[in-house]
Structure 1
Amino acid sequence: MHRLAFLLSVAFFSGCALADTAWRGTSPQSLASGSGDISKAGGAAVTLSAESTGANQFVGAITTIDAATFQGREVVLTGTLLVNSGTGNAALWVRADGPEAPLAFASTGDQPVRLNEGSQPREARLYIPAAATSLKLGVTFGSAGRVDVEHLTLNAESAVQSNVSAYDMLDTAISIIRASALNANRVDWKSEQKSLLTADLKKLPAQEAYSRIQTVLTALADRHSSVQAPSAVSTYRAGAVATQAVEARSMQDIGYLLVPGLRGSDPKAGDIFSTQLCEHIAGLATTASRGWIIDLRDNTGGNMWPMIKGLRPLLGDADLGAFRDRNGVATAWRAQPSKGCDVDLSHSSVAVLVGPRTASSGEAVAVAFQGRPGTSFFGQPTAGLSTANQSFSLPDGGAIALTTAVFLDRTGVAYLQGIQPEKPVPREQDAVAAAAAWLRTQP
């Protein structure tokens, strides 16, 4: 690193910052401004606003700093987020980039902040690999509106030590991926092992393996597999947070239900979510004489089981789909009943709304409705991540979320390119109105 650049970097993060942290928007629609210094105790204040999201369907504020003083350490990005307007989720994020590609990423996306929740503190942790050359960090928001961030601070800590080497981590990960990945046959394993599983990793900490594990996962080309650090695994297991509020309302003779994604695998929180969905359906049942609109357009995924459990009154007591692995073996799945909510509306007409943000487990819910009598799909094509991920533990407490199967609907059809609604509705038109009009024509 050039000596002058090094001195400037050290000055910036030694409490003698030369200037306020500079911010810019991540897109033409993103308006970002800020004051203060993320390296100082009081941190920075950032405002992100937008009148529209554009094609990306999210907006963001970003800053970039040199990674030299953070290599081999763990950074902690903390801040307090307040959503002043808008329907989206706000999150902090930090990413370590190498000379050619991103190396590591962390966000608070599993703990979203939304409108009317007040100021919420959040923290993202990320180990910075030795090969990192820059850090990018900031805030994202999933809709038009405004987010204010206070006390945004970046600190560095010593990396957590373990008895596991990066070599052992990567060797374990390669074995798992090769044995179970849906697309394992797309990888040149001899070449990957030769280039990635190098002897120098035996002297490096476990965290240095993560960027190389991600390189292997990227080679699978499933667009869905990922690797999670121990802190991310703990957060996911500790709760189950909806990506937005469930919305249920009566539209005269139609029941409308917005089903969000659910991030987390805590069983108790999952049961609360599924019971809420089921009770909303039961509460609207007497007025929904013409049928139901199930809105999955903002369901970006997470834990599919509480979602289909809560929708069981409409889905019915039957096999709703299956997971088909790379060997062609299909394992059927169905919705379990919610305690104290046993209404049966499986013969009602249903209009399902989908779009490009309908992804992963959100697509699993959509697939569960495919092939159901009296059902039609409205909107735009889904994200095309209609595959099943399975969690595999790593020696340091992290995990691989590995794509191991494709979704089949109840008739045996797979949706490798996502779900194409049979009744397309352009984004600028009202899909709810189109769905309601169709429902009112049904017997």
Structure 2
Amino acid sequence: MKGLALWLLVFTAGAAHAQVAAGQWHLSGDPQLYRVEVAGGAELRGAAITLQGTGSERGSGAASRVIDAATYRNSVLTLSARVTADEVSGGAGIWLRASADGRPPAFANSQRQPVRGTAADVERQISIVVPRDATRISFGPLLNGSGRTTVTGWVLDSRPCSANPAVTPERVLAAAVDAVKRSALNAGRVDWVTVEPKARAMLGDSTCPEAAYPAVRMVLAALGDRHSRLLEPAARREMVSTATATSEPAITVSDNVGYVLLPGFRGAEGGAATALARGVRERLGALAPEARCGWVVDLRRNSGGNVFPMLAALKPLLGDGELGVYEDRNGRRQPWHASGPALARNEDQSSRAVAVLLGPRTASSGEAIAIAFRGRADTRSFGLPTAGLSTGNGIVDLPDGSRIMLTEGVAIDRRGQRYGGVVTPDTTVDGAADADSALQAARRWLDAQCVEAP
């Protein structure tokens, strides 16, 4: 809802500022909730634009600058900047819009990667295709909720459309629609009579394949699964060639109870995936003699990514057997297992008690890990319900090099229970997003199990 509110705020404010002189910045939003400060002079690259929230957690604010669009028509326009956040609650970032009279604007923002909390000089980059008849370009910083953000290092860069005349936006959109109709879990819920013509109308008269991206995203949004997404070519290449954990895993033992903080894992590069799995697995084995009363597996910061190295990392606790399945809309099932070498007797901890910590940031394949523990003996979960993305995504490559991560299946645990939405913990613990209360409840349960064990 915040993203929608901000889009409406920026869209309507742009019309009001269409006549703003070049080089000027203005606040778009409620001046009682947000303030804008401008430093660094009129040159774009040197500008430092600060948005300060006055305490509202639900507000959305932005600053805007307007320039003439003539130079950028029928090109791919990219906005880059560095975002610094100070106690930002909802998310800070940047936005970019190209407006043409009488048609919806081309619009993008960086809220798929919001900068939250406190962080310095986080690079963000967004792109749009500028329509042939665009009259103005607007852009600026954005802030959801409370806190303060300063954005610097502004760069606007344009490039011509793809040189391959065979890869048209019409072809990209058609490939996406065909794949969605053929494989998407929720394809039957879409009003195609309305959605398909609307998507085609969004292409306009651009020859850029990138002009199809807003239409593809609209089609994916119509599925209502909240999990399908489009990766533009650069993001696809990064996903294939790189991989990293979203934070460092933490594995410790205290008072006979082991603790594993398992982060999400982004990307598919095999060496990094293998290193994560091997490192966690070896550490679990080394600490096994000390973790006499079992393990806490903390998934509250696990926002998902590549599920396979995460399953492999936890194989000593999960075991060698089938952990669950994804079922597509036709009832076909794909089982999942923890990959890697078979467990040696001295590293197999699949009979030890495990307490799993869940929270609203546990999402996607993080939820799959939680489901993999469902039905396991001597296992209980604690915390708050998860994000509600317990579905499986397949890969659809489009003609221009972009990729759809398409939701095609619903998760089913080893007991046969279906998910698809939130994973609710066995024991709800308020304040579970803060490490102490849920962790304490989990430790108490493990201690009781340990005392009762023969």
Q: TM-score, normalised by structure 2?
A: 0.79
Is residue 18 of structure 1 aligned with residue 24 of structure 2? yes
Alignment check: 8 A CA contact 2:85 2:92 kept = no
Aligned to 1:328: 331
2:192 to 164, 189, 193: 189
Q: Does 1:432 align with 2:439?
A: yes
The superposition leaves residues 287-319 of structure 1 with CA deviations (integer Å, 9 ceiling, x where unpaired) of 111111111111111111111111111111011
Tell me, yes or no, if the aligned pair for 1:305 and 1:335 is still in contact at 8 Å. Answer: yes
Deviation at 1:246, TM superposition (A): 1.7
Matched-pair contact (CA < 8 Å) for 2:351–2:377? yes
Equivalent AA in structure 1 for residue 308 of structure 2: W
* Alignment partner, residue 396 of structure 1: 400
CA contact 2:323–2:337 (8 Å) conserved in 1 = yes
- Once the two structures are TM-superposed, the CA of residue 439 in structure 1 deviates from its matched residue by 0.4
| Structure 2 contact 266–304 (Cα < 8 Å) conserved | yes
Moved more, 262-271 or 341-350: 341-350
Matched residue, 2:20: 8
Q: Map 1:14-413; keep pairs closer than 5 Å.
A: 17-18=23-24, 35-36=39-40, 40-44=44-48, 46=50, 62-66=62-66, 69=69, 72-80=74-82, 92-94=93-95, 96=97, 103-106=107-110, 109=113, 122-128=123-129, 130=131, 138=141, 151-162=152-163, 163=165, 164-198=167-201, 201=204, 204-337=207-340, 343-413=347-417
Residues 92 and 105 of structure 1, relative CA distance in 2, 3 Å threshold: closer
Displacement of 1:203 after TM fit? Answer: 5.1
Rate the CA distance shift 1:440–1:292 in 2: closer, same or farther, 3 A: same
RMSD over aligned CA atoms reads 4.2
Q: Aligned match of 2:423 in 419, 423, 430? A: 419
| Residues in 2 aligned to 1:90 and 1:423: alpha-carbon distance in whole angstroms | 30
CA distance in 1, matches of 2:38, 2:74: 29
Distance 1:346 1:91 in 2: 42
Alpha-carbon distance in structure 2 between the residues aligned to 1:343 and 1:141: 47
> Aligned letter for 2:182?
A
CA distance in 2, matches of 1:267, 1:50: 46
Equivalent AA in structure 1 for residue 123 of structure 2: R
Distance 2:202 2:87 in 1: 52
- Could you tell me how far 1:215 is from its partner in structure 2? 1.4
CA shift, 1:185, in A, is: 0.6
Following TM superposition, by how much is the alpha carbon of 1:6 offset from its aligned partner in structure 2, in angstroms?
A: 4.6
Quick check: 232-241 or 404-413, which moved more? 232-241
8 Å Cα contact 1:82-1:113 kept in structure 2: no
CA separation of 1:423 and 1:340: change in aligned 2, threshold 3 A = closer
How far apart are the structure 2 equivalents of 1:227 and 1:75?
18
TM-score by length of 1: 0.81
Q: Distance in 1 between matches of 2:205 and 2:107?
A: 19
Amino acid in the other structure paired with 2:329: R
Query: Cα gap change, 1:287/1:323 in structure 2, threshold over 3 Å: closer, same or farther?
Result: same
For residues 321 and 66 of structure 2, what CA distance do their matches in structure 1 show?
A: 55
Q: In the TM superposition, what is the alpha-carbon distance from 1:233 to its structure 2 partner?
A: 1.3
8 Å contact kept, 2:412–2:418: yes
Instruction: Say if 1:96 and 1:128, in contact at 8 Å, map to a contact too.
Output: no
Asked if structure 1 preserves the Cα contact closer than 8 Å seen for 2:74 and 2:161, the reply is no
**Structure 1: distance between partners of 2:245 and 2:54:** 23
C-alpha change, 1:105 and 1:396, in structure 2 (3 Å) is: farther
Residue by residue over 1:122-179, the C-alpha shift from the partner in whole angstroms, topping out at 9 and shown as x without a partner, is: 241312453998756547899x9x9876633141313442422111111111111101
Q: Distance in 1 between the 2:438 and 2:399 partners?
A: 47
CA shift in 2, pair 1:158/1:27, >3 Å: farther
Partner Cα separation in structure 2 for residue 34 and residue 350 of structure 1 = 53
Contact 1:297 1:353 in 2 (8 A): yes
Work out which of the two has the higher radius of gyration on C-alpha atoms and give 1 or 2: 2
Displacement of 1:220 = 1.0
Distance 1:180 1:27 in 2: 48
How has the CA–CA distance of structure 1 residues 32 and 195 changed in structure 2, closer, same or farther, with 3 Å as cutoff?
closer
TM-superposed CA distance for 1:274, in Å, is 1.8
Question: Structure 1 pair 393/378, CA: closer, same or farther in 2 (3 Å)?
Answer: same
Which sits farther off after the overlay, 239-248 or 310-319? 239-248
Shift of 1:199: 10
Q: Name the counterpart of 1:14.
A: none
Q: Find the aligned partners of 2:356 and 2:139 in 1 and give their Cα distance.
A: 38
Cα offset, 1:330, TM superposition: 0.9
Q: Distance in 2 between matches of 1:402 and 1:67?
A: 37
Measure, in 2, the Cα distance between the counterparts of 1:93 and 1:339: 48
Instruction: Quickly say closer, same or farther: Cα 1:210–1:150, change in 2 above 3 A.
Output: closer
**DSSP-derived class of the 2:260 partner:** strand
Deviations 1:11-36 (A, max 9, x none): 1xxxxx235x75989997x9986633
C-alpha contact (below 8 Å) 1:299/1:362 kept by paired residues: yes
Pairwise CA distance, 1:393? 0.8
Deviations 1:357-407 (A, max 9, x none): 111111011111111111101001111110111121111111111100011
The percent of aligned pairs where both chains have the same amino acid is 29
Contact 1:75 1:154 in 2 (8 A): no
Task: For residue 237 of structure 2, give the secondary structure of its aligned residue in structure 1.
Answer: helix
Q: In 1, are the aligned partners of 2:263 and 2:301 still within 8 Å (CA)?
A: yes
Distance 2:202 2:91 in 1: 41
Aligned residues: 425
